[in-house]
Amino acid sequence: MTSTSIQDGHPVETDEQFRVRLRAFLADNRPGRRPKDPAERLSWQKAWLATLFDAGFAGPSWPREYGGMDLSFAQQVIYQEEYARARVPRPLGTGLGIAAPTIIKYGSPEQKERFLRPMLRGDKVWAQGYSEPGAGSDLPALRTTARREGGGPDDPDAEYVVNGQKVWNSAADIADILFTLVRTGPAGSRQEGISYLLIDANTPGVSVRPLRDLTGDAHFCEIFFTDVRVPVANRIGEENGGWPLVRTSLGHERAAGAMNQAALYRRVLDELIELAHERGATADPLVRDRLADFEMRVRIMRLTGMRTIADIMAKGEPGPASSTSRLFIVTFEQELHEFALDLLGGYGILDRNDPHAVQRGRWVWGFLRTRASSIGAGTTEIQRNTIAEQVLGLPRDPSMPSAGKSR
C-alpha cells in the first residue's frame, strides 16, 4: 500500500490516489453519446471541456496560474493513460498542444491573460495556419504577407494587413482564432522575415473552405486572407522573430502527439487483438508474430512519450528528438491499419456506409485516414533529415533544405 506523503504540513496525493480520483471523475461525468449533427457535436465537446476545466482537470502540463494542473511527470503519464481509456471527447482544435506552449514561453503577460484560459476551457477553438500550397515541409518559403499600417513598432493602434493562402488546416472550419505564420520581411528573407500572428477567424476577409479527403470526411481546410486587418498587439514575439516560436510550436506538437498517441494506440491495439481472436486468426503463427511486434512497438511508443515529457519538464523543450517519435508513430499506425485490413480479407474493401462492413468500417476508415500521416506535421522525409542532422550529427545533404530551416 502506498502511503500519503506530507509537504509543507499538508498531505500530498500519491500517484495511485490521483489515478483513482481522475478515473472516478471521468466515469461519473461522461458526457453521453456523441451527437450526429455537427453544430450539436461542437456544443457537446465544448460543454465537456468546460466541465473538465471547472473541475480542475484540464491542462495536465499547464501552469496553475493559467488554469492548468501543473502535474508531475508521473501524473502527466497517468492523465494521458486514463483519458484515453475513458473514451471521452478529445480537445478541440490544435491550440492546446501547439499554440499554448508558445504563448506561455513567448507571450506578454497581457496575451497570456487574454488567450490561455479561454483556450483551455474550450470557449475559443484554435487552428493552425502554417503550411501553404508552395510552403509545406519547406516552411520558410511561405508567401502570406502581413504589411504594417498605422504607426511605429510600439503604436497600439497599428495593424497588419494580411494577404495569402494556407492549406491543410485542421479544425479551421470551427476555429475562433488562427495562429498563423506570415511574412513581415521582404520576399526571399525566408525564416529571417517570419512573424507569428494570431488572427480572429471572424475578421472580414478570412475565408475557410473544407477539403474532403479519402475517408469522405473534411478533416482539413484551406484558408484565404484578403486584406485582413489584424492588430499588431496580436503578434507573439518580435516582428520578423517568429522562427524560434515555430520551432517551439512544432516540437510541442510532436511531443504532445507522442504521449496522446501512445495512450490511444494502447487501446486500439487491444481492440485489434480482440478482432483477430473473433475472426479465428490467432491460430496462425504469422498473425501472432505480427501482433507481438505491434505490442512491443506500442510499449516503445509509451516509453518514448514518457521520455519526451521528461525532456520538456527538465529543459522546457522536447528538442529534435521529438522527430524520432513522430516518425515512429507514423510508421506504426500505417502498418497497423494495413494489417487490420489483411485480417478482414474481402471485408477490408467495405466502407462504413456498407451494411456488411465490420465494426462499421472503422478499420477501413483508419487505413484511409493514416495514408496522410506521413505528410502531416512535417513529411517523413523531413523528419529523417532532422534526425540525421540534429540527432545523429550526420552531414547535411546540400540538395535539401537545412533541417534547421524546414518544417
Catalytic residues: 253
Question: Is the four-CA dihedral 35, 88, 307, 6 of positive or negative sign?
Answer: positive
Rounded to whole angstroms, the Cα distance separating 142 from 135 reads: 5
For residue 118, which of 59, 197, 30, 181 has the smallest C-alpha distance? 59
DSSP string spanning 93-113?
SSIIIIIHHHHHHH--HHHHH
For residue 158, which of 225, 229, 238, 241 has the smallest C-alpha distance? 229
Long-range contacts of 401-404 (CB under 8 A, 24+ apart): 401/137, 401/138, 401/140, 403/320
Burial label for 145, CB within 10 Å (0-12, 13-18, 19+), is: middle
Rounded to whole angstroms, the Cα distance separating 199 from 178 reads: 5
Helix 73-86 vs helix 285-315: crossing angle, to nearest 10: 140
Rounded to whole angstroms, the Cα distance separating 131 from 141 reads: 10
Rounded to whole angstroms, the Cα distance separating 243 from 193 reads: 8
Contact between 19 and 82 under an 8 Å Cβ cutoff? The reply is yes
Rounded to whole angstroms, the Cα distance separating 118 from 113 reads: 9
